[in-house]
């Protein structure tokens, strides 16, 4: 500074206390509060005749093109200086060197393009620096090294392309850093190395394509991380290493095709997450398994999202608010997708393409606010009943309307639920009226069923008994007697001659001997009859007399032409009947007749 200016400044500082201060037209001055505020006043420069003991000076949109360093030295007690919205394109390197009490400096919405390393040398107490909405393209290394008490730094809405790894050197006390709305394409792994106390970092609206491992390794106190509106496609394993205290993460409007589930173990305290406006086709099962502390999840405007699969939100046991909105292609949400979110209170499913409701909400006892509006609901009584409790908690029930079927199109979802309830009640009453007839029909059906089962069981028992009977059984062919009174029909297993021989040998030779001896031995008249032919049965007529043995005779097969040689050739069983011993004095019995297939010969 020229020597003359120094003398003038000293002189002004001595005479100003004796000069009545003036307030520029259009400004608001409070001498008691030592506060001057000028907005949209065409000043052109910083006024000189203000209270020299000013604490706060706001000159916003006042056409101050270049702050005069000598004038600023007059107000050495300033704690807050706001020069936003002016056309400042250049700052004197010594402009702020006497403002050692300044805590807040706002230079936003100006035309600054470059900052000298010594510009902030005198601001030893500065805590807030706002350089947003300028045209800064680069920053010199250690440009902020003299303001080590800085807490809040805003560099948003500039034209930064790249940052040197030493730009933020010395800023150990910074709590918030805003680098949004720049043109950053990459971030050096050591860029934030000195920002160990930072709590909020905004990198949104840049052109970042990836996050490298270790970028946030020193940010153990970071709570909020904004990465929205970048070009992130993937993040290296361990990209979030060090973010143990992170509570809010915004990854919306990037190029992520799936949830970065491999990063969740590095953010164990996360409570808020946004994945909106990413090109994801589906939310897979267990996509958020490691986020046990998450309380709010926002998924909006995903134009490619078509389905949310089983157990997609499994593990979100602390989830309080879930927003899935504006996803027009989303038609299917799995029934079990949110069934485990037992602490869910706010559910927003508005503006999607959901037609049918099949989501299990039975476990969501704490659900208090629901938004189902602007979905193409196809109102069907099979599922609208499930929505009965949800509708009562809907913020605007009339906003949720049916898109089909035709007779219900445009009807409010709450009205559709009510109509379905009335329909079901009417059907229930009709069923009660038809209950007697229905009971009779059911009883008749049961009776017929019992009868059929009984018949089938008996038939099965008979079939098993028949199969268990030996083939050479001596049982009669018929269960009862034949058409011949007192006769019994037996299977015959052997030739008639053998049968007669056996029969005569077993008979008593008493008074009936004369009748027996009259019987021919062997088979008469069968000389030309094939030896392999047999009679199928033998009928023994019992004697009416109780004093004589049963006697038998037989007739020649040639006595009748009714029996061809095609008679059964099966080996028949011998008679099981054995005649009792005859008493004496018996009249001759009637001749027994041999039968073939039940017909007398």
Over residues 280-313, the pLDDT tens digits come to 999 999 999 999 999 999 999 999 999 999 999 9
Global pTM value: 0.67
Which pLDDT belongs to residue 419? 62
Residue 6: CA count within 13 A, CB half-sphere: 4
Residue 11 CA to residue 15 CA, distance in Å, equals 6
> How big is the chain by its Cα radius of gyration, in Å?
56
- Over residues 83-102, mean pLDDT: 92
> Which range (109-118, 397-406, 521-530) has the least confidence?
521-530
> Tens of pLDDT along 326-380?
999 999 899 889 988 989 999 999 999 988 877 777 677 788 888 888 888 877 7
User: pLDDT for 469-515, tens place per residue?
Assistant: 555 444 444 444 444 444 444 444 455 555 555 555 555 444 444 33
Using the predicted structure, report yes or no on whether residue 597 has a pLDDT greater than 60: no
Exposure class string for 280-300: b at 16+ Cβ within 10 A, else e: bebbbbebbbbbeebbbbbbb
pLDDT score of 359 = 77
Q: Which residue has the higher pLDDT, 8 or 460?
A: 460
**Which tokens in the block code for residue 117?**
């390393």
Structure confidence at residue 147 (pLDDT): 94
- Note the pLDDT of residue 491: 46
Q: DSSP 3-state helix, strand, coil percentages of the chain (rounded to 5)?
A: 20, 15, 65
Higher-pLDDT residue of 399 and 340 is: 340
- Tokens standing for residue 462: 């008979």
Please name which of 396, 424, 432, 430 lies closest in space to residue 412, comparing C-alpha atoms: 396
CB 232 within 8 A of CB 204: no
Give the span between the Cα atoms of 570 and 535, in whole angstroms.
Answer: 9
> Looking at per-residue confidence, does 431 or 305 come out higher?
305
What's the pLDDT at 521? 46
What local confidence, expressed as pLDDT, does residue 321 receive?
Answer: 96
Looking at the chain, the whole-number percentage of residues with pLDDT higher than 70 is 64
Q: Give me the phi and psi of 53, to 5 degrees please.
A: -95, 20
Residues 434-476 have pLDDT tens digits of 556 667 778 888 888 888 888 888 788 777 666 665 554 444 4
pLDDT(240) > 60: yes
**Mean pLDDT of the region 147-158:** 97
Give the model's confidence band at 406: pLDDT under 50 very low, under 70 low, under 90 confident, else very high. low
Return mean pLDDT, the chain. Answer: 77
Helix (H) or strand (E) holding 584: none
Q: At what angle do helices 413-433 and 435-468 cross, to 10 degrees?
A: 70
Which region among 313-317, 436-440, 593-597 has the lowest average model confidence (pLDDT)? 593-597
State which of 48-57, 174-183, 458-467 shows the largest mean pLDDT: 174-183
Q: Give the mean model confidence (pLDDT) for residues 224-251.
A: 95
Q: How many residues does the chain have?
A: 601
Buried b (16+ CB within 10 A) or exposed e, 389-408: ebbeebeebeebbbeeeeeb
Segment 198-222 mean pLDDT: 96
Residue 92: HSE in the Cβ half-sphere, 13 Å Cα cutoff? 16
> Which pLDDT value is given to residue 360?
76
Residue 181 has what pLDDT?
Answer: 98
Give the Cα-Cα-Cα angle 72, 75, 77 (nearest 5 degrees).
130
Say what the pLDDT of residue 486 is: 45
pLDDT of residue 58 exceeding 80, the answer is yes
Least confident of 237-241, 267-271, 311-315, 510-514: 510-514
Average pLDDT rounded to a whole number, residues 161-179 = 95
Please determine, for residue 586, whether its predicted confidence score (pLDDT) is greater than 90.
no
Band (137; pLDDT cuts 50, 70, 90): very high
């Amino acid at each position: 500074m020229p020597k003359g200016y120094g003398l003038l400044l000293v002189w002004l500082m001595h005479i100003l206390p004796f000069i009545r201060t003036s307030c520029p037209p259009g400004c608001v001055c409070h001498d008691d509060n030592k506060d001057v505020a000028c907005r949209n006043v065409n000043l052109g420069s910083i006024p000189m005749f203000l209270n020299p003991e000013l604490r706060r000076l706001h000159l916003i949109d006042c056409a101050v093109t270049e702050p005069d360093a000598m004038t600023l030295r007059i107000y050495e007690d300033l704690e807050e200086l706001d020069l936003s919205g002016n056309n400042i394109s250049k700052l004197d390197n010594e402009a702020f060197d006497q403002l050692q009490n300044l805590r807040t400096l706002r230079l936003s919405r100006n035309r600054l393009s470059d900052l000298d390393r010594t510009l902030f040398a005198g601001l030893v107490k500065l805590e807030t620096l706002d350089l947003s909405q300028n045209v800064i393209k680069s920053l010199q290394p250690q440009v902020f090294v003299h303001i080590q008490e800085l807490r809040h730094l805003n560099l948003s809405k500039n034209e930064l392309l790249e940052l040197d790894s030493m730009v933020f050197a010395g800023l150990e006390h910074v709590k918030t850093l805003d680098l949004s709305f720049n043109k950053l394409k990459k971030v050096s792994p050591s860029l934030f190395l000195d920002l160990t106390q930072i709590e909020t970092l905004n990198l949104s609206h840049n052109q970042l394509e990836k996050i490298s491992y270790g970028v946030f390794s020193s940010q153990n106190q970071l709570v909020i991380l904004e990465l929205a509106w970048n070009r992130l496609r993937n993040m290296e394993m361990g990209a979030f290493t060090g973010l143990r205290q992170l509570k809010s993460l915004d990854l919306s409007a990037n190029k992520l095709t799936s949830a970065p589930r491999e990063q969740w173990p590095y953010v164990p305290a996360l409570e808020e997450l946004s994945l909106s406006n990413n090109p994801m086709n589906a939310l897979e099962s267990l996509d958020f398994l490691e986020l046990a502390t998450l309380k709010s999840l926002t998924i909006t405007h995903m134009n490619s999202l078509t389905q949310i699969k089983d157990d997609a939100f499994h593990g979100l046991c602390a989830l309080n608010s879930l927003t899935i909105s504006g996803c027009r292609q989303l038609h299917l949400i799995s029934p079990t997708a949110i069934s485990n979110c037992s602490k869910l209170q706010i559910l927003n499913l508005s503006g999607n393409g959901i037609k049918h409701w099949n989501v299990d909400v039975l476990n969501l006892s704490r659900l208090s606010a629901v938004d189902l509006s602007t979905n193409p609901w196809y109102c069907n009584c099979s599922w609208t009943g499930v929505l009965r409790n949800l509708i009562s908690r809907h913020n605007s029930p009339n906003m949720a309307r049916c898109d089909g079927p035709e007779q219900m199109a445009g009807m409010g979802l709450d009205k559709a639920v009510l109509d379905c309830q009335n329909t079901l009640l009417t059907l229930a009453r009709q069923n009660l009226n038809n209950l007697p007839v229905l009971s009779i029909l059911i009883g008749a059906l049961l009776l017929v069923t019992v009868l059929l089962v009984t018949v089938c069981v008996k038939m099965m028992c008979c079939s098993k008994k028949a199969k268990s009977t030996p083939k050479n059984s001596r049982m009669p062919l018929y269960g009862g007697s034949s058409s011949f009174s007192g006769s019994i029909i037996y299977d015959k297993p052997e030739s008639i001659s053998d049968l007669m021989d056996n029969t005569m040998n077993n008979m008593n030779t008493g008074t009936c001997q004369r009748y027996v001896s009259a019987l021919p031995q062997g088979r008469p008249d069968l000389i030309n009859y094939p030896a392999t032919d047999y009679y199928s049965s033998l009928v023994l007529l019992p004697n009416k007399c109780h004093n004589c043995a049963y006697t038998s005779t037989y007739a020649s097969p040639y006595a009748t032409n009714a029996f061809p040689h095609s008679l059964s050739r099966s080996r028949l069983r011998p008679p099981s009947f054995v005649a009792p011993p005859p008493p004496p004095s018996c009249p001759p019995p009637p001749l027994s007749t041999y039968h073939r297939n039940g017909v007398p010969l």
